[in-house]
Every structure is written in structure tokens, then in C-alpha cells.
Amino acid sequence: MKHFFFTIALVAAFVAARGQNKLVIHADQGQTTISKHNNGHFAEHLGHCIYGGFWVGEDSPIPNTRGIRNDVVAALKEISIPNLRWPGGCFADEYHWMDGIGPRADRPRMINTHWGGVVEDNSFGTHEFLDLCEQLGCEPYICGNVGSGSVEEMSKWVEYITFDGESPMANLRKQNGREKPWKVSFWGVGNENWGCGGNMTAAFYADLYRRYATYCRNYGENRLFKIAGGANSADYNWTETLMRDAGGQMQGLSLHHYTVPGSWGRKGSATNFNENEYLSTIEKTLVMNELLARHSNIMDRFDPQKRVALVPDEWGAWYDVEPGTNPGFLFQQNTLRDAIIAGTNLNIFNNHADRVRMANIAQTINVLQAVLLTKDEKIVRTPTYWVFWLYKAHHDATLLPTALTANRVAQAAPAQANLPFRRESRGIDAINASASRDASGKIHVTLVNVDPKNEQSIEIEPRGTTVKRVSGHALVSSAITDHNTFDAPDRVAVKPFNGARLAKGVVTVKLPACSVVLLEIE
């Protein structure tokens, strides 16, 4: 009997894969802008994200500009990185910014108690971070210390960075080599204050937020976009309390949610997984859509004009660390599965662009779902990197309304009993998508085929426009576990895509199994 039901499941999956998916794009509509900041990034003093990732020091044989790796800057500029969040993360709420200014030889050393118990020498501080952002051409997003810091400390940091006038902090900045202030808009008032940022209640943090935010002042023409520390995943009470008690003093409210395949005790391997585990992981990734919808609904009650942005400034996949590495460094590999996770999340953010106007993947280099890996002088662009390369087509474009009808994909059999992935799959849509129109009138469509085995054919009907041509790029590989290494850095990379055909105004696309595809429609 068991074999009978297993066969039926396989047949059902095969039939579903042969069905017709359809995407209708209302190309003559659309009023919401997809903010480029939805493709933001995150750099914490954690593992080798900062040291060895961004920062090698001026005396390093690795080519650098004022201590910042040239190859990293060049790679991130290729994906038009719009903003970078720093210095954490949990590290932010034990970071005291005055330890990271002035001559590096005089900066105090500390223990990074959150991440690995290693010595932090503070050689990468405020000036180095803002220099990095200037080299990248991106906007800085600074997260201030509420957990162990004072109101005065945060207020002085804002003044040090942004005040163009005569004051103790402005004069100190000038003494440290920066005459003119920097322009910094994005300012986080604390991080994960429900956890590592202080283990606070929502009501207590709301009061504290109002106090700290009051003294984060606007100097000159610089205007702060203040982001309150928001909920952990489905903690809707946190959002309700913050919007009710402090919504009038914030411009953004964060949300943290990670895709964890197994349990927090045993998350699962980044590279050793089967199709059932893959599908279970993608199913968990899709929870982001429900989270954004429900948190947005709460925010709508207090802020119907959508003045306050919902900011998922920590998202991504979290697996067990690679064998033999420091467990506190959170180093993991990055496979084609992670590309599917990234493309799916970015499509979700696009489709919630009326409320989601900033998001940050965790993290940029060598930590969690990184876009880059470095080792000495070597650098690797991960599959997730190439997804950001594809999705930069949506930066500051107009979101186009879409209607998607998709096949369903489910696990063919229950996960193995000895793994933490044993659960009944409800099935998921084989395809997810988003579409936008850029300033030149071109339509870009990003399509993710989550099916690990089957090609999916989809008809795209752009309504309200005349289609003359279609072209594209695709990220695809032969196995869902494929990944790039220092010895094989280009195993998974973007390639021109020729699987789209245009006939009578309808675009028919054959999406390879487990792929992310960008179409440009003119």
C-alpha cells in the first residue's frame, strides 16, 4: 500500500509539471515604485565579514584602497548595491562608536562576546565604514546601540557624522581627518531588542525608542530615516505595540526572519540535502509572504497612508556552519537552493513594495547567505550574488500588477525519519514572479521555477502594451546542490537565456528546473 501511494504521488507531481502556468501582466497600470533599497545588504562584525572580507588594512598585499579590498568593491558595484547596514546585528548593541575613531594604534581592543569570542581591535570603525560606502556608491545604514549604550552616546554619534558647524563632536571629526560631514539618512535605533539587543518587552522598547529617537537630530540638510527595531518573525504583538506607542516617531519598522530548514538546534547542511529537504526549505521561505501581509495589515490600521516602511533588514538562509569552522563565525556555503531562496524573497519584496521599501540580506561576505566569499587574495561570487545581478533591473522601477496561475509541487515522499525535516508538505507553487517597468518603458519580469526536477512552461500575457521583442538571462545549474568554490568559482553563474518565444503578443517561456530567469520585454 505504501508503494501504491508513493507511485500516485509521483504521477501527480509529473502531471502537475506538464500543466500550463500563466502570468498576466497589466503593463498599462502600476503606481508603486520598487525601491532599489529592497536589494540592500548587511555587514556585521562577525566572522570574516569585515576583517578579511571588506577590510584587509593598508599594508596588505591584497590590492586595496585605504585598507578596503578592491575586488570586493568592484564585485558589489556590479550589482549596484544600494545600501549597507552596519555594525550589526547583535554586535551593534555592544558597540561603542568612540572606540572606533582616531589613530588605529590607539583604539581599544575588546572581546566580541556575541560572535566567536575573538578580539575586536576596532581598526574598522566609523570613518572606514563611511569610506567603504563612498567607494561602493551606496547609502550607509547605521544601527545604533540601545542595548548597552546611552542616549547621549547615540546622539553624539549622529552629531559627529552629520553636523556641519562648530561643536565638540564636529570638531573631533575634523581632528580625525574629515572636514565635511557625511550624509547619512538610514539610522536604526537598536537591533533585536526583544533578544540580543536587551531582552526587552515591546512596551518597554517602545518607550525607550521614543526617548532615543528624540535625540537623534536632523542637522543641516541631513534628514534621518529612523528605523525602529521590529518583530522577530511572527511576533505580531510587537508590531502592534510599536505602531501604537511609537509609530509617529519612526519612518521604518524592521522585521527579522530567517529560513531555517531544520530546527535551531540542528539547522541542516548548506550543501548536503535531498529534494525533500530542498522543497521543505523553499516552503519555509514562502512564509515571508504571509509575514509581510500580516505585519502590513497591522501597520495599515495605525498608518493607512503607509508613511512608515516595513524593513526586513535581516533575511536569508541559516544552516549549520561548514565542518571545521568556528561555530561563532556562521560561515556556510551557498548553493543553487540559495539562489531560489533569494529570488523568491526578492519577488515577495517587490510585490509588497507599497509597504516594503528597504530590505537587507544577511550577510554580504563570508557569513550566512553571503553574496561573496573570500579567502586570502581569492574571491567567489555565490549563486545568491547572481540573483542580485538579475534583480537590479527592478531598481526604482514601477511595480506592474500581475496575476499568476501556477502548478503545484509537493514532496514525493515523507522526509527521512532521522532528519529534522519530517513534515507533511502542503505543496507550493512551482513558479513565483514579479514584474516592473523602468524609466525607458522596458518591462522586466523575474521568474523563479522552484521545481527541483521539472522544466515548467509558462505563458506570459502583457496586457496594455505591444510586445516587439523579448530577451533574457538565467541562473541555472545541473544539480540543486551545485555551488561555487575557490577552485571552481564559475560553476553556477548567469548566462544568456534563449527559452522565450513571442507569438501574437504572448510570450511562452520554458523555465529550466530550479532556475531564476530575468526577461526583458520591449
Mean pLDDT of 168-180: 98
Is the domain of 118 the same as that of 259?
yes
Is the domain of 283 the same as that of 425?
no
Is the domain of 458 the same as that of 500?
yes
- Tell whether the model's pLDDT for residue 422 goes beyond 60: no
What percent of the chain shows pLDDT beyond 70? 93
Average pLDDT of the chain is: 93
Domain closes at, from 397, 431, 449: 397
* Cβ-based burial of 50 (10 A; exposed 0-12, middle 13-18, buried ≥19): buried
pLDDT digits (tens, 9 = 90+) for 389-414: 999 999 999 999 999 999 999 876 55
- pLDDT band, very low/low/confident/very high, at 99 (cuts 50, 70, 90): very high
- pLDDT band, very low/low/confident/very high, at 415 (cuts 50, 70, 90): very low
Q: Say how many domains are in the chain.
A: 2
Is the domain of 193 the same as that of 317?
yes
Q: Which of 223, 232, 190 is nearest to 207 (CA)?
A: 190
Q: What is the CATH number of the domain that holds 466?
A: 2.60.40.1180
Q: What are phi and psi of 339, to 5 degrees?
A: -65, -40
pLDDT of 412 reads 61
Is the domain of 369 the same as that of 408?
no
Domain closes at, from 337, 370, 397: 397
pLDDT of 5 reads 32
Global confidence as pTM: 0.93
Mean pLDDT of 354-358: 98
Mean pLDDT of 418-430: 63
Mean pLDDT of 69-77: 98
Record the cell numbers describing residue 372, joined without a space. Answer: 561573496
Contacts of 488 (CB under 8 A, 6+ apart): none
CA distance linking residue 517 with residue 497, whole number of Å? 8
- Tell whether the model's pLDDT for residue 50 goes beyond 90: yes
pLDDT digits (tens, 9 = 90+) for 260-318: 998 888 999 999 999 999 999 999 999 999 999 999 999 999 999 999 999 999 999 99
Record the cell numbers describing residue 391, joined without a space. Answer: 534583480
Q: What is the CATH number of the domain that holds 349?
A: 3.20.20.80
Which is more confident, 518 or 113?
A: 518
Domain that holds residue 140: 35-397
Is the domain of 383 the same as that of 477?
no
* Cβ-based burial of 376 (10 A; exposed 0-12, middle 13-18, buried ≥19): exposed
Is the domain of 427 the same as that of 340?
no
CA distance linking residue 495 with residue 472, whole number of Å? 9
- pLDDT band, very low/low/confident/very high, at 232 (cuts 50, 70, 90): very high
Is the domain of 411 the same as that of 502?
yes
- pLDDT band, very low/low/confident/very high, at 498 (cuts 50, 70, 90): very high
Mean pLDDT of 165-169: 96
Catalytic residue among 159, 192, 277, 283: 192
Which amino acid, 433? A
* Residue 128 annotated in active site: no
Is the domain of 12 the same as that of 78?
no
* Residue 192 annotated in active site: yes
Is the domain of 11 the same as that of 43?
no
* Cβ-based burial of 391 (10 A; exposed 0-12, middle 13-18, buried ≥19): buried
